[in-house]
Amino acid sequence: MERQEIINEFENEVIILNFITVVRLFELNADAATLYLFYVKNAKIQKTNKIYAVNKFAMSGLSWGKIRLLKAKKILKDNGFISKIIRKDDKGTIIGHYLVIHYLNNEKLGLSIGSETHPVGSSTGWVSAHKCL
């Protein structure tokens, strides 16, 4: 197997979250941690940190009601784990709602199999201050 194939296989099969990020999520709220992991899973599937994930999709995927989802989502937003992007066309009509998932690892864990990086997001706040990427 070639080096690039190994890197691609690794990136396709592994989700990397820093331990302190996970600890912080569970300190905040278990539902928020679960929702964040749901979003990370979908970011991996969509191959971006700017995911399309409407509330109905998340409620269905987690078997949650609206109040539970909105409470967990608010915790994630208030603590900088996610942010919302609303895309509009030239006329100002909304054409899409997206979530930016922050704190996804943007390096290959220092593995010696390659020096390339694929930045997937920027960190801010508590996690950035503790170098948790």
Pull the structure tokens for residue 4.
């690039």
Q: Which domain holds residue 85?
A: 3-129
Statement: residue 123 has pLDDT above 70: no
At 108 the pLDDT is: 36
Quote the number of domains for the chain: 1
**Cα 25 to chain centroid, rounded:** 12
Between CA 18 and CA 88 the distance in angstroms is 34
- Lay out the sheet containing 50-51: strands in order across: 50-51, 94-101, 82-88
Of residues 62 and 108, which shows the higher confidence score? 62
Residue 93 CB burial class (10 angstroms; 0-12, 13-18, ≥19): exposed
* Residue 107 to residue 115: CA distance in whole angstroms: 9
Please give the Cα distance from 65 to 31 (Å, whole number).
Answer: 12
Model confidence over 28-47: pLDDT tens digits? Answer: 999 999 999 999 999 999 98
The pLDDT of residue 66: 97
E strand segments, 1-133: 50-51, 82-88, 94-101
Between CA 80 and CA 111 the distance in angstroms is 28
pLDDT the model gives residue 81: 95
Domain holding 33: CATH number?
1.10.10
* pLDDT: which is higher, 107 or 49: 49
